[in-house]
């Protein structure tokens, strides 16, 4: 059954945890707590450590973080609203607080490992507080694709057009149209074979006529990437 992996997904709105068995299947219900505000490192790490105490036993930890993470070290955390994260060795501090070996990477990257088929060019977008993006080629990750903050049109970034703030301004119909427009924009740039849409707002696209190569995924499916992460070299 083992080894068991605690998967931690840090978001701008909520922090989620789940324990997976050695096959990547959940052994408990997903737990969720609100992300503290301000989302300082100490405040977020305290929530993670406290939540972990209530989870089933695990031997290792995988963390998805909303920002650029290189070799376990946070470089940016735009959707947590503070620059205090820059330089934080996330793998080290969580390992010290929760007492288990830890691997950390961008949240969309981690979720992508849970849903991709591993063939051809595959793209993953997470629609939530902001916009996460991950790119894979034959199952290999192109890390830290920061599509969200790239300019798109009318002096707004991709995240500025489809993020949570803009969704509330536009309403469901116009926001959905904006997401579809984004897909039309991205396909001839990346020429992906498949694109996967997840995150808290992806469920709002249920029933929408998406392109044939676009697929919705749940957060539960995405968190399975936490187990796959430990099967990778490095």
pLDDT at 221: 85
Q: Specify the pLDDT at position 233.
A: 44
Show the domains of the chain with their CATH numbers.
5-110+222-231 (3.30.420.40), 117-217 (3.30.420.40)
Q: Look at residue 18 and give its three-state secondary structure.
A: strand
Token couple for 50 = 């406290």
CA distances from 89 to 1, 68, 121, 147 (A): 30, 12, 30, 23
Res 92: pLDDT: 98
**Are the CB atoms for 18 and 223 separated by under 8 Å?**
yes
The helix (H) or strand (E) run that includes residue 7 is strand 5-10
Q: For the chain, how far is it from start to end, CA to CA, in angstroms?
A: 23
Alpha carbons 168 and 54: distance in angstroms, whole number: 34
Ranges of beta strands (E only) in 115-192 are 121-127, 131-137, 140-142, 151-153, 156-157
Give tens-digit pLDDT for 132-174.
Answer: 999 999 999 999 898 999 999 888 999 999 999 999 999 999 9
| Helix (H) or strand (E) segment spanning residue 134 | strand 131-137
For the stretch 108-131, pLDDT in tens is 999 999 999 999 999 999 998 899
Query: pLDDT at position 1, please?
Result: 78
Least confident of 60-64, 80-84, 204-208: 80-84
Characterize the bridge pairing of strands 194-198 and 14-20.
unpaired
Instruction: Express as a percent the part of the chain with pLDDT over 70.
Output: 99
**What token pair was written down for 86?**
């820059």
- Summary mean pLDDT of the chain: 94
% of the chain residues with pLDDT over 90: 84
Residues in the chain: 234
So what's the pLDDT on residue 232? 66
> What is the per-residue pLDDT for 234?
41
Neighbours of 205 (CB within 10 A): 18
Tokens, residue 92: 């080290």
Position 98 confidence tier, pLDDT thresholds 50, 70, 90: very high
Instruction: Give the 3-state secondary structure of residue 43.
Output: helix
Please say whether the beta carbons of 147 and 73 come within 8 A.
no
Q: Which residues of 69-81 are buried (b: 16+ CB within 10 A; e: fewer)?
A: beebbbebbbbbe
Neighbours of 150 (CB within 10 A): 12
State how far the Cα of 90 lies from the Cα of 181, in Å rounded to an integer: 35
Confidence of residue 79 (pLDDT cuts 50, 70, 90): confident
182 token code pair: 């984004």
Contact of 194 with 117, CB cutoff 8 Å: yes
């Amino acid at each position: 059954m083992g080894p068991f992996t605690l998967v931690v997904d840090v978001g701008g709105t909520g922090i989620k945890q789940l324990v997976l068995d050695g096959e990547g299947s959940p052994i408990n219900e997903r737990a969720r707590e609100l992300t503290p505000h301000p989302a300082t490192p100490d405040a977020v790490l305290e929530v993670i450590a406290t939540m972990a105490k209530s989870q089933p036993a695990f031997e290792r930890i995988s963390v998805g973080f909303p920002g650029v993470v290189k070799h376990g070290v946070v470089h940016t955390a735009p959707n947590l609203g503070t620059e205090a994260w820059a330089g934080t060795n996330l793998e080290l501090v969580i390992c010290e607080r929760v007492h288990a070996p830890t691997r950390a990477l961008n949240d969309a990257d981690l979720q992508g490992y849970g849903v991709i088929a591993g063939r051809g060019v595959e793209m993953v977008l997470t629609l939530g507080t902001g916009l996460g993006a991950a790119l894979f080629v034959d199952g290999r990750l192109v890390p830290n694709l920061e599509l969200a903050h790239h300019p798109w049109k009318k002096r707004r970034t991709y995240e500025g057009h489809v993020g949570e703030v803009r969704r509330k301004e536009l309403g469901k119909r116009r926001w959905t149209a904006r997401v579809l427009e984004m897909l039309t924009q991205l396909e001839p740039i990346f020429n992906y074979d498949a694109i996967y849409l997840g995150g808290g707002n992806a469920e709002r696209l249920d029933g929408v006529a998406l392109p044939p190569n676009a697929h919705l995924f749940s957060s539960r499916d995405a968190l399975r990437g936490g187990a796959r992460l430990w099967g990778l070299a490095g």
